[in-house]
């Protein structure tokens, strides 16, 4: 690297960040002024400022990316996370592999969401100036962090010949996508948050703040869901411990905003339809955004250690005041506007859609509180008693499993129940088929020899919900069926096409059922650990696994120890698995590559933990039933999300069409449209 | 009773059930962290599940089939840990580990899980942090 390029990237980077910081502060101030004076020109300026800030942030990211790809080791960040032997695609993902780069990238995703949600909208729409101010303030905070706390453009001196390289655990296709999804999801909640704050500032009491940002909220939620699922798929296929979710504090940090956001997606329907829960909804979106900031704080504070945390850094101390400001500021604003956010109606029946949503919210928040408490409890105890304790997965499993199953049950019942005061007889009729399916499942599984009460219950609940959800589709198709033999299919197409949000939601529910089915398989997990000489074998579940031979190779990057394992079932060879234990020469770190045979009924998962000089191997093996259904459920959920997002924003007609399907509870005309 | 009041009663029941569940589960699944010095002093109930955190001593790692034993130290005292768990990829001499298990009567800490608490996990250059 020449001396001139050294000065260039670093100096240019700093210049861009500083100007973006200045511009974001300016557009925040202009936005606030526009709110105060109701000035359209000021609002336009603020909006343009936000878009320009986004362009600057984007160019800072591109600059760092270019430096990473050209391996410009004059930048300390580049030298820390790439080396000459790092494959190009992973040099790309090194942008978010380190603390400084990931913050820069986090700022980028926030700004892209902000510019997209605000930039293409008419400034005359009333919430824009306030939202612009809030979003600019958020960007200003992160830009300040980049300028003062975590500089991605600092110079390395002396310039090293080669860089440190990317951690081999991060060199996985999952790791190129998973953080991107997660970041987009977490930062996307800035949009509904900023509109909620803007609505509070303006003292409005309508639903405009979330109806006009709903697609962004759903998009953010979808990306977060996919990000979390990809993260657990990465843990399962890369970390080699046979599991996919460990209740690690950082996993929890991504789950927390997901839980409150999911509660919000459901409860905003009550406000939209019935004018209830206004304060609660604003509270939920404030909570969701705060939790997503809290998550970034946890991973960067050095407060806890996990496989996902970045190294300790001074950045943590900036986050707490930011979090405090968001919480205190937002809730103070909410308190100030409390009198304007009265419920327009009250609950009319315990067996109404409203009540189902309320219980849904209660349970989601219950899980969120459990996860938050379990994550923070060790920190609190250490601070108060000075003893260090740990809260393990048994705690989370014991509390979250029953609440999760109750929620699953609601997933089945909720959509059957109409708004306001449904008739009990209709509900009873709708419940019959799902109940029969659930009972039949218990009997069939018990007859097949399943004895775990928890798994029996979970699986029968899964079939109850699946049948109830499919019945919703069937009912809709019948109500809209056309003539001829394919009338039902055209009816299904028509009803789904007209109510994408609703039926897309049901598809997401079906995905959730599949995920629960996969999770319940963990009750039948089997494991085996032992040492094998070449030719020896062991049995696990219905499999016989033989250690046939070994293979040792050395490449530029790593030394590969591979065990060739032949898997047979019923004395027939079904597959050869090749678990590896590799030693990365540059990072001087071992890394396991698992041997995995995945089928719909079960996974066989082999980890090579050691190979000695006589070529004896130590193998840890798992049989994980039904795990594939988790990933399948994730795919189904994603399809559902695509259906939801592809729908047009609801028009009054669409709302009415939704009601005509629910024949049991006709709404009063004046209540049908609440936009 | 109005539906609203009924819901509030139901909500109170649900919330207290969750609260009770949390309290009950918390007593059963917390483990205390101890230093090797505290463990070596012998004052620890041999039945209790605890976690011990410390640095793996150079040259102490011994593999015998599926069992690995190694010594951890907090620079005051040193105890031997034995485990059949799969060791994490970052495990090695000089690495900070957290072992969870119980102290045996033979003075060997028998661990069911071993976590490597590598501060440079996502930082490739060792020794740069701390």
pLDDT tens readout for residues A597-650:
999 999 999 999 888 888 889 899 999 999 999 999 999 999 999 999 988 765
Residue A132: what pLDDT?
Answer: 95
What percentage of residues in chain A have a pLDDT greater than 70? 92
Structure confidence at residue B130 as a pLDDT band (50, 70, 90): very low
> Could you tell me if A114 and A191 are in contact, meaning their C-beta atoms sit under 8 angstroms apart?
yes
Find chain B residues with C-beta within 8 A of A369's C-beta.
18, 22
Cβ <8 Å between A369 and B119 = no
Residue A66: what pLDDT?
Answer: 94
Find chain B residues with C-beta within 8 A of A607's C-beta.
86
What percentage of residues in chain B have a pLDDT greater than 90? 8
Whether B35 has a pLDDT exceeding 90, the answer reads no
Residue A309: what pLDDT?
Answer: 55
Say how far apart CA B24 and CA A38 lie, in whole Å: 55
Structure confidence at residue B63 as a pLDDT band (50, 70, 90): confident
Whether the CB of B59 is below 8 Å from some CB of chain A: the reply is no
Q: How would you classify the pairing of strands B62-64 and B30-34? A: unpaired
Residue A643: what pLDDT?
Answer: 94
Cβ <8 Å between B89 and A359 = no
Tens-digit pLDDT profile for residues A121-164: 776 678 999 999 999 999 999 999 999 988 999 988 888 888 88
Tens-digit pLDDT profile for residues A508-529: 999 999 999 999 999 899 999 8
Q: Which residue of A has its CA nearest to B100?
A: A390
Which has more pLDDT, A39 or A438?
A438
* CA proximity to A522, closest of A668, A675, A401: A401
Q: Which of B3, B84, B120 sits opposite A350 (nearest CB)?
A: B3
Q: What are phi and psi of A65, to 5 degrees?
A: -60, -45
Cβ <8 Å between B86 and A373 = no
Q: What are phi and psi of A665, to 5 degrees?
A: -135, 85
Tens-digit pLDDT profile for residues B111-128: 888 877 644 344 433 333
Mean pLDDT for all residues in chain A: 87
Find chain B residues with C-beta within 8 A of A81's C-beta.
124
Cβ <8 Å between B119 and A305 = yes
Residue B33: what pLDDT?
Answer: 77
Whether A507 has a pLDDT exceeding 70, the answer reads yes
Q: Which of B6, B33, B119 sits opposite A390 (nearest CB)?
A: B33
Q: Which of B29, B117, B122 sits opposite A392 (nearest CB)?
A: B29
Q: Which residue of B has its CA nearest to A421?
A: B3
Q: What are phi and psi of A486, to 5 degrees?
A: -100, 25
Mean pLDDT for all residues in chain B: 78
Mutate to test the interface with B, among A100, A618, A619, A621 (most CBs of B within 10 A): A618
Q: Which of A240, A305, A395 sits opposite B29 (nearest CB)?
A: A395
Collapsed DSSP state (helix, strand, coil) of residue A428: helix
Tens-digit pLDDT profile for residues A242-256: 889 989 888 899 999
CA angle A405-A406-A407, nearest 5°? Answer: 90
| Separation in Å, CA A216 to CA A141, A259, A626 | 22, 17, 33
Whether A540 has a pLDDT exceeding 90, the answer reads yes
Collapsed DSSP state (helix, strand, coil) of residue B65: coil
Cβ <8 Å between A164 and B100 = no
Whether A666 has a pLDDT exceeding 80, the answer reads no
Beta-carbon contacts of A32 under 8 Å, excluding residues fewer than 6 positions away, are A129, A130, A133
Residue A176: what pLDDT?
Answer: 84
Structure confidence at residue A77 as a pLDDT band (50, 70, 90): very high
Whether B49 has a pLDDT exceeding 90, the answer reads no
Residue A649: what pLDDT?
Answer: 62
Residue B40: what pLDDT?
Answer: 78
Q: CB-side exposure of A606: number of CA atoms within 13 Å?
A: 31
């Amino acid at each position: 690297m020449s001396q001139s390029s050294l000065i260039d990237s670093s100096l240019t980077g700093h210049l861009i960040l500083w100007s973006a910081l200045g511009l974001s502060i300016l557009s925040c101030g202009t936005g606030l002024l526009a709110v105060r004076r109701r000035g359209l020109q000021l609002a336009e300026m603020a909006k343009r400022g936000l878009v320009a800030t986004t362009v600057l942030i984007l160019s800072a990211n591109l600059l760092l990316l270019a430096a990473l790809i050209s391996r410009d080791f004059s930048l300390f960040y580049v030298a820390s996370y790439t080396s000459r032997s790092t494959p190009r695609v992973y040099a790309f993902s090194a942008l978010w592999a380190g603390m400084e780069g990931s913050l820069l990238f986090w700022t980028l995703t926030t700004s892209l969401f902000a510019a997209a949600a605000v930039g293409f909208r008419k400034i005359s729409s009333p919430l824009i100036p306030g939202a612009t101010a809030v979003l600019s303030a958020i960007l200003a905070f992160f830009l300040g962090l980049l300028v003062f706390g975590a500089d991605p453009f600092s110079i390395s001196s002396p310039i090293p010949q080669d860089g440190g390289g990317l951690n081999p655990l991060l060199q996985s296709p999952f790791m190129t996508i998973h953080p991107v999804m997660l970041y987009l999801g977490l930062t996307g909640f800035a949009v509904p948050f900023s509109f909620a704050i803007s609505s509070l500032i303006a003292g409005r009491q309508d639903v405009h703040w979330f109806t006009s940002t709903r697609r962004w909220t759903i998009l953010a939620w979808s990306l977060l869901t996919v990000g979390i699922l990809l993260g657990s798929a990465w843990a399962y296929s890369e970390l080699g411990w046979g599991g996919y979710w460990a209740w690690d504090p950082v996993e929890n940090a991504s789950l927390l905003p997901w839980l409150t956001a999911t509660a919000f997606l459901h409860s905003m329907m009550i406000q939209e339809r019935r004018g209830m829960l206004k304060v609660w909804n604003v509270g939920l979106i404030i909570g969701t955004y705060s939790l997503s900031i809290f998550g970034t704080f946890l991973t960067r504070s050095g407060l806890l250690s996990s496989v996902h945390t970045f190294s300790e850094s001074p950045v943590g101390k900036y986050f707490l005041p930011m979090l405090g400001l968001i919480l205190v500021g937002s809730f103070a604003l909410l308190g100030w506007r409390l009198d304007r956010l009265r419920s327009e109606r009250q609950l009319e029946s315990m067996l109404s859609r409203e009540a189902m949503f309320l219980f849904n919210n209660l349970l989601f928040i219950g899980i969120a509180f459990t996860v938050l408490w379990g994550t923070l409890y060790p920190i609190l105890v250490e601070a108060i008693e000075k003893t260090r304790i740990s809260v393990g997965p048994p705690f989370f499993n014991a509390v979250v499993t029953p609440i999760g199953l109750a929620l699953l049950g609601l997933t089945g019942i909720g959509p059957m129940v109409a708004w306001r005061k449904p008739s009990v007889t209709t509900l009873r009729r709708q419940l019959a088929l799902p109940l029969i399916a659930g009972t039949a499942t218990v009997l069939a599984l018990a007859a097949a020899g399943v004895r775990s009460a928890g798994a029996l219950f979970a699986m029968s609940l899964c079939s109850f919900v699946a049948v109830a959800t499919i019945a919703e589709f069937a009912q809709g198709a019948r109500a809209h069926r056309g003539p001829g033999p394919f009338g039902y299919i055209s009816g299904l197409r028509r009803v789904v096409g007209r109510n994408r949000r609703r039926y897309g939601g049901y598809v997401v529910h079906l995905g959730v059922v599949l995920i629960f089915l996969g999770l319940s398989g963990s009750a039948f997990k089997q494991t085996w650990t032992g040492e094998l000489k070449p030719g020896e074998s062991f049995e696990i579940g219905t499999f016989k696994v033989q250690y046939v031979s070994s293979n040792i190779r050395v490449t530029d990057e790593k030394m590969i120890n591979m065990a060739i394992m032949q898997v047979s079932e019923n004395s027939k060879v079904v597959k050869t698995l090749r678990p590896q234990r590799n030693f990365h020469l540059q990072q001087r770190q071992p890394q396991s590559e698992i041997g995995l045979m995945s089928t719909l009924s079960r996974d066989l998962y082999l980890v090579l933990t050691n190979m000695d000089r006589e070529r004896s191997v130590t193998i840890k093996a798992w049989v994980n039933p039904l795990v594939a259904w988790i990933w399948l459920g994730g795919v189904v959920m994603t399809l559902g999300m695509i259906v939801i997002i592809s729908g047009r924003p609801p028009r009054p007609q669409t709302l009415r069409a939704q009601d005509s399907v629910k024949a049991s509870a006709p709404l009063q005309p004046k209540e049908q449209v609440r936009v | 009773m109005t539906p609203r009041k009924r819901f509030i009663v139901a909500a109170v029941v649900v919330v207290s059930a969750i609260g009770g569940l949390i309290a009950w589960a918390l007593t059963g699944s917390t483990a205390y962290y101890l230093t090797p010095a505290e463990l070596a002093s012998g004052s620890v109930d041999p039945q209790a599940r605890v976690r011990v955190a410390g640095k793996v001593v150079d040259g102490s790692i011994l593999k015998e089939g599926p069992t690995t034993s190694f010594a951890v130290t907090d620079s005051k005292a040193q105890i031997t840990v034995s485990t059949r768990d799969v060791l994490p990829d970052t495990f090695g001499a000089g690495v900070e580990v957290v072992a969870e298990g119980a102290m045996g009567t033979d003075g060997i800490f028998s661990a069911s899980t071993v976590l490597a608490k590598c501060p440079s996990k996502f930082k490739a250059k060792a020794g740069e942090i701390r």
